[in-house]
Amino acid sequence: MNELDSFDLSILKVLQEDSSIHMQALAERVNLSKTPCWRRVKKLEESGYIRKYVALLDHRKLGLSVMAYVQVSMKDHDLNTLQVFLDFVEQSPYILDCHATAGNFDYVMKVIAADTEELENFLMRELLSSGVIQSTNTNLILRQKKSTTELPVK
């Protein structure tokens, strides 16, 4: 699948807002009839434009009220140290995002926890005890103003 036309883009837009929409309603919203609309969706799934369908949960209802950005500097930058760190990141459910950034620190992570105590425990017991971290800098998130999974399509 090489290029997306405006129909494909419209479909992606709708689905990343609400994937529980029925094929019939989706078709109407993008001005197609059911069959071609369905075919396009399948194509977008197969070609990987649509990675997956997920349910988004309410973190507050789940008792996860503390979020923070944690900047991390590594002790060393050899492959082994890196791998230990990345394995840790992958495995930890508290870490929602982790990116290597240009700047003073090696990585920025977005972390979620039930409360500051759990966050503290995570940072001290789990993260630092992995042995590969030189220093961290934690910025608590005071208020979440916007958080979306919708990419700017079109």
The verdict on 101 binding a second copy (CB under 8 A) reads yes
CA-CA distance, 82 to 76, in Å (whole number)? 8
The verdict on 25 binding a second copy (CB under 8 A) reads no
Q: Are 67 and 114 in contact (CB under 8 A)?
A: no
The verdict on 6 binding DNA (CB under 7 A) reads no
Single out the residue of 89, 96, 125 nearest to residue 110, CA to CA.
Answer: 96
Among 13, 16, 29, 32, the residue binding DNA under the rule CB under 7 A is 32
Size of the site for a second copy (CB under 8 A): 57
Smallest separation, CB 40 to DNA (Å): 7
The token pair that represents 88 in the structure block: 């840790």
Among 4, 11, 12, 37, the residue binding DNA under the rule CB under 7 A is 37
Smallest separation, CB 107 to a second copy (Å): 7
Single out the residue of 127, 99, 95 nearest to residue 111, CA to CA.
Answer: 95
**Which CB, 25 or 100, lies closer to a second copy?**
100
**Which CB, 33 or 139, lies closer to DNA?**
33
CA-CA distance, 68 to 59, in Å (whole number)? 14
